Amino acid sequence: MYDLFTEIWSTLRQNKLRTTLTGFAVSWGIVIIIVLIGTGNGLMNALMNNAVDEVQNIISVYPGLTSKAYNGIKENTRIRFDDRDISFSEQTSANIDRAFGNLEFSDTLSFGSEALSSEVYGVDPLLKDVWRIRMVSGRFINKNDLLDQSKHIVIDQDAATQLLGDDKDYSKLLGRYINVGNIPFKVIGINEAEEQSWGHSSYIPYSTARIMRAEGAWLSRITLEFHDIDTKEANEAFEKAYKRSLNTFHGVDPDDTRTAYMRNYYLSNQEMGKAIRIMRLALWILGFLTLLSGIVGVSNIMLITVKERIHEFGIRKALGAKPLSIMKLIVVESVVITAFFGYIGMVIGMLADFVLDKTLGSHPMDIGIIQLYIFKNIGVGFDVALEATLLLIVAGTIAGIIPAWKGAKIRPIEALRAEK
């Protein structure tokens, strides 16, 4: 094996420029693959970051307006949700495990001489996953908080810093009391501030919010947790049946489609997963087509090499060399060129991803009222690097097969004549 690589190295040294230009095409192909996949991952991560977390088996129902007069109710009458809708929803279908409401209102948070305005959400603990709320200190609202109607609150880190007088150590606020309006609440957790938000968000138990807003409070949405509805068709049928029942419950036209709007996280997750798979496949195809040009270049160079060394191969065969040994020499040389320059391209591509992540992926785009990420966490994982390695080996082998076959079929007498 040592002699084999020594011979290959000697051949490559004799054709430095040709080898370098051929290797550049391979390196460029791998760079394109790594950058395409890295930026594709960054784009998909940004989409997931900017969107509400796609939790399975959850449907959010939002109140709307009637689109037609019916049974004494006028057109454009606003539908109102309250606790009766929660009880009704749980009895609508055996597939619904439970339903819970969300109550939100604006209020002033104060601590000492500091105060700020915040949107206050009365929530169920499950919404931590639905809304993808990330805790940086303490904990989120739990079931005991709901049962006890506790005066516990979770605030975002920016609000905590501001209430502390711009003290960056927001954890100092944990366990202390702040006022929501005129009511003291104990801070039990601090969540990561959403960069795409245009204000502060605070979370308290739904049961507590219901007491605080007993009069004139309507639910902003109802969330359904369901089971055993696993297909797109079944989900659509369930939504249609639920909306008809809800319309009947409110005394409006059962076929009115504007009275409620539904967001089905199960279907959203299915569509998102499908889109991600298609995008990744497209990126791999584009990268492979780019790499293909490099493979063709390597194959052409190996054909030229075979033609230049035809006399040598003829002598080898005359001295008893088997066709397999000649094929091995050419294929290994092709793999060496492809793998060596491919690894160089892989390193350059990963460095390019790192630079892109530190520039494009670290800063959201400000579009006025909100900030959105276009790319986030640009880069590739170990699995992609392993796949690229295997691709390099396969590409090098393919590039050398045809030249190797031609070299192995050379007859000694023909080779000697060709040289003359």
**What are 109-139's pLDDT values in tens digits?**
999 889 999 999 999 998 888 787 889 999 9
- 154 pLDDT more than 90: yes
What pLDDT does 116 receive? 92
Average of per-residue pLDDT across 294-316: 71
Q: How confident is the model at residue 253 (pLDDT cuts 50, 70, 90)?
A: very high
Q: Which of 23-27, 185-189, 298-302 has the highest mean pLDDT?
A: 185-189
Nearest to 180 by CA among 208, 142, 218: 208
Strands (E), 64-205: 96-111, 114-123, 135-138, 152-156, 177-180, 183-191, 200-205
Which amino acid makes up residue 8? I
Q: Domain ranges in the chain?
A: 2-52+269-419, 58-266
Burial zone of 182 (CB within 10 Å; 0-12 exposed, 13-18 middle, 19+ buried): exposed
Q: How far apart are CA 40 and CA 46, in angstroms?
A: 10
Q: How far apart are CA 137 and CA 413, in angstroms?
A: 81
- 54 pLDDT more than 50: no
Of 5-14, 62-71, 133-142, give the lowest mean pLDDT range: 5-14
What pLDDT does 2 receive? 56
Is residue 385 within 8 A of residue 284, CB to CB? The reply is no
Average of per-residue pLDDT across 342-349: 83
Is residue 93 within 8 A of residue 238, CB to CB? The reply is yes
What pLDDT does 246 receive? 92
Average of per-residue pLDDT across 358-375: 60
Nearest to 32 by CA among 286, 261, 209, 294: 286
What pLDDT does 368 receive? 47
DSSP 130-162: HTTPPEEEE----HHHHHHT--EEEEEHHHHHH
Q: How far apart are CA 415 and CA 315, in angstroms?
A: 8
What pLDDT does 150 receive? 95
Higher pLDDT, 139 or 347: 139
Q: How far apart are CA 116 and CA 180, in angstroms?
A: 10
DSSP-based three-state secondary structure for 3: helix
> How many CB atoms are closer than 10 A to CB 108?
13
What pLDDT does 389 receive? 67
Strands (E), 227-292: 260-264
Average of per-residue pLDDT across 239-265: 90
- 416 pLDDT more than 50: yes
**pLDDT tens digits, residue range 29-41?**
778 878 888 887 7
| Composition of the chain by helix, strand, coil, percent to 5 | 55, 20, 25
Higher pLDDT, 4 or 226: 226
Higher pLDDT, 176 or 311: 176
What pLDDT does 372 receive? 59
Backbone CA torsion sign across 363, 368, 370, 374: negative
Share of the chain above pLDDT 70, in %: 80
Q: How far apart are CA 415 and CA 309, in angstroms?
A: 9
Higher pLDDT, 40 or 62: 62
DSSP-based three-state secondary structure for 368: coil
**pLDDT tens digits, residue range 178-198?**
999 899 999 999 998 875 556
> How many CB atoms are closer than 10 A to CB 400?
30
Average of per-residue pLDDT across 360-372: 57
What pLDDT does 335 receive? 78
Is residue 203 within 8 A of residue 146, CB to CB? The reply is no
What pLDDT does 414 receive? 60
Contacts of 211 (CB under 8 A, 6+ apart): 149
**Mean of the per-residue pLDDT values of the chain:** 80
What pLDDT does 369 receive? 44
Higher pLDDT, 73 or 418: 73
- 254 pLDDT more than 70: yes
- 95 pLDDT more than 90: no
Measured torsion, CA atoms of residues 317, 322, 326, 328, in degrees rounded to the nearest 10: -170
Q: Which secondary structure element, helix H or strand E, spans residue 222, and what is its range? A: strand 221-226
Contacts of 252 (CB under 8 A, 6+ apart): 66, 70, 71, 73, 77, 79, 259
Instruction: Give the global pTM.
Output: 0.61
Higher pLDDT, 213 or 100: 100
Structure-token pair, residue 295:
């493979």
Measured CA to CA in angstroms, residue 226 lies from 9, 55, 83, 264, 292 at distances of 65, 12, 19, 11, 48
DSSP-based three-state secondary structure for 343: helix
Share of the chain above pLDDT 90, in %: 21
Q: Phi then psi for 99, rounded to 5 degrees?
A: -130, 145
Structure-token pair, residue 66:
């009637």
